[in-house]
């Protein structure tokens, strides 16, 4: 990303693509400028395919596949009662089926913030009612249940409905297919964050069922429980995914999970960051640009030094840049009138940058006034 700065053709028009001098600069809680090309590109993920009733889809390329219909992937799971033992749940026709009485299954691998895809199917032969019909559950970090229940034509208490955050919040809709058909849950999970024993983020669940939004960033409230209202509480750093044995032979297929980058509140660099984290990030970006500037010459070097000042001030970089700006201004001043037009692009470019740095109180340069005068005198600031 930083390398792109030196690779840019140094024309005025290219400034719009450069890291600095374009949008509002970094500030106390944003380490990057608006439209900042130094901000890392999103990592490439090959998307998967959607499932049909007949056939499960393909997971995206960066997913951890927990169950893909094969016996081999059952080894990703253990018995929750006896974690040293394999699960007694069985693989049938490419599905992982709950064996009533065998207990929950839990993933060997543990996860924190994640995107989870899981498909389930309640028995087509309907037995029981209320919470007794096709009941299972998806337990994020083993702590909080997204309810799995055959509610196709089966009322129950709303906060225990399919797609509820069990005991916390009902789903916004009943978007279930018939029992025996495949239901698709797509879940985004964020664990609670505590600092110094204080809750700073309650954690959230977002749930889609068959493409319909059921939970929209629902606060976890500590995760619900049966008959018991929990309070906000710390979760571990990571935990296993668990699937519930509630006495019904519910089937699962196509289970995959993507670990998500940390939130700003959890030490990540997405969204609005703390002042301390922002300052550290800005210092790192500035240092990388200066490291790159040290390998450059002439104008490329100057532009990189000036760009670095947008992220963090540095006496050495400012002094070096000032010397180079002064030298450039002196050269322009000494340029004969009939040759000055050939310097237009460079003068306008540097003038724009110095104006930007002054406007946002990033840095002042004594030579800026003289460059601005030249630009104005030749009408180079007028749009044609």
How does DSSP assign 218-263, residue by residue? EE-TT---SS------PPPS-EEEEE---SS--EEEEEEEEEPPPP
**Nearest CB to Mg ion, comparing residues 39 and 246:** 246
* Minimum CB distance to Mg ion, residue 222 (Å): 18
Q: What angle do CA 345, 330, 336 make, to 5 degrees?
A: 65
Residues 252-281 that bind Mg ion (CB under 5 A): none
Q: Which is nearer to Mg ion, 201 or 221 (CB)?
A: 221
Contact at 8 Å (CB) between 12 and 5?
A: no
Span from 237-245, 281-289, 290-298, 301-309 in contact with Mg ion (CB under 5 A): 237-245
For Mg ion, the closer of residues 175 and 264 by Cβ is 175
Q: Does 103 bind Mg ion (CB under 5 A)?
A: no
Beta carbons of 109 and 224 less than 8 angstroms apart? no
Comparison of 147 and 292: residue with beta carbon closer to Mg ion: 147
For residues 79 and 135, which CB has a smaller minimum distance to Mg ion in the complex? Answer: 135
Stretch that binds Mg ion, among 95-103, 127-135, 151-159, 263-271 (CB under 5 A): 127-135
Segment near Mg ion (CB under 5 A); pick from 87-95, 97-105, 135-143, 206-214: 135-143
Give min distance, CB of 167 to Mg ion, in A.
Answer: 10
Output the smallest distance, CB 87 to Mg ion, in A.
17
Closest CB 115 distance from Mg ion, rounded Å: 21
Residue 257's alpha-carbon distances to 47, 62, 71, in angstroms, are: 13, 9, 18
Q: How many residues bind Mg ion (CB under 5 A)?
A: 4
> What are the b/e assignments for 280-289, b being 16+ CB within 10 Å?
ebbeebbbbb
- Under the binding rule (CB under 5 A), the answer on residue 137 touching Mg ion is yes
The Cα–Cα gap between 341 and 334 comes to 13
Q: Which is nearer to Mg ion, 148 or 293 (CB)?
A: 148
**Smallest distance, Mg ion to C-beta of residue 134, A:** 10
Q: In the complex with Mg ion, which residue's Cβ is closer, 183 or 244?
A: 244
How is residue 262 written in tokens?
A: 């940390």
Closest separation in Å from C-beta 122 to Mg ion: 11
- 351 CB neighbour count, 10 Å cutoff: 21
User: Least distance (Å) from Mg ion to the CB of residue 147?
Assistant: 5
Longest dimension (CA), the chain: 95
CB 179 within 8 A of CB 150: yes
Nearer to Mg ion, 135 or 254 (CB): 135
Smallest gap from Cβ 88 to Mg ion, in A, equals 18
The minimum distance between CB 226 and Mg ion, in angstroms, equals: 9
Q: Which stretch binds Mg ion (CB under 5 A): 48-56, 80-88, 131-139, 285-293?
A: 131-139
Residue with smaller CB distance to Mg ion, 145 or 221: 145
Say which residues have a Cβ less than 8 Å from residue 115's Cβ, sequence separation at least 6.
Answer: 186, 187, 188, 189, 257, 258, 260
x/- string (CB under 5 A) for Mg ion, residues 330-359?
------------------------------
CA angle 229, 138, 51 (to 5 degrees): 145
Residue least distant from Mg ion (Cβ): 137
Long-range contacts of 222-231 (CB under 8 A, 24+ apart): 222/192, 223/143, 223/144, 223/145, 223/165, 223/168, 224/144, 224/145, 224/159, 224/165, 224/166, 224/167, 224/168, 225/166, 225/167, 226/166, 226/167, 227/167, 228/167, 229/167, 230/167
Note the residues at the interface with Mg ion (CB under 5 A).
Answer: 135, 137, 244, 246
């Amino acid at each position: 990303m930083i390398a792109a700065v030196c690779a840019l053709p140094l024309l005025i028009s290219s400034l719009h693509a450069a890291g600095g001098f374009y949008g509002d600069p970094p500030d106390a809680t944003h380490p990057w400028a608006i439209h900042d090309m130094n901000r890392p590109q999103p990592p490439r993920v090959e998307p998967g395919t959607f499932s049909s009733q007949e056939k499960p889809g393909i997971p995206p390329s960066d997913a951890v596949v927990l169950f893909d219909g094969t016996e081999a992937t059952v080894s990703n799971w253990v018995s929750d009662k006896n974690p040293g033992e394999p699960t007694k749940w069985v693989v049938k026709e490419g599905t992982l089926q709950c064996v009533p009485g065998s207990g929950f299954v839990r993933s060997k691998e543990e996860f924190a913030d994640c995107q989870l895809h899981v498909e389930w199917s309640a028995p087509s032969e309907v037995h029981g009612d209320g919470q007794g019909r096709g009941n299972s559950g998806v337990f994020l970090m083993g702590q909080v249940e997204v309810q799995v229940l055959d509610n196709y034509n089966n009322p129950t208490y709303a906060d225990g409905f399919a797609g509820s955050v069990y005991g916390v919040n009902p789903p916004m809709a009943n978007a279930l297919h018939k029992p025996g058909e495949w239901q698709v849950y797509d879940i985004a999970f964020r664990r609670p964050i505590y600092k110094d024993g204080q809750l700073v983020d309650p954690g959230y669940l977002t749930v889609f069922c068959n493409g319909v939004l059921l939970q929209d960033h629902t606060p976890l409230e500590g995760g619900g429980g049966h008959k018991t209202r929990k309070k906000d509480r710390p979760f571990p750093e990571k935990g296993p995914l668990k699937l519930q044995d509630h006495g019904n032979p519910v089937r699962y297929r196509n289970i995959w999970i993507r670990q998500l980058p940390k939130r700003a509140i959890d030490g990540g660099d997405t969204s609005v960051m703390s002042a301390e984290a922002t300052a550290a990030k800005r210092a790192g970006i500035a240092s990388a640009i200066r490291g790159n500037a040290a390998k450059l010459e002439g104008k490329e070097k100057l532009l990189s030094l000036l760009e670095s000042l947008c992220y963090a001030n540095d006496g050495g970089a400012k002094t070096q840049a000032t010397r180079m700006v002064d030298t450039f201004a002196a050269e322009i001043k000494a340029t004969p009138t009939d040759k000055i037009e050939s310097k237009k692009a460079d003068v306008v470019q540097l003038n724009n940058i110095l104006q930007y740095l002054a406007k946002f109180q990033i840095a002042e340069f004594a030579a800026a006034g003289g460059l601005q005068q030249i630009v104005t005198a030749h009408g180079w600031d007028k749009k044609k």
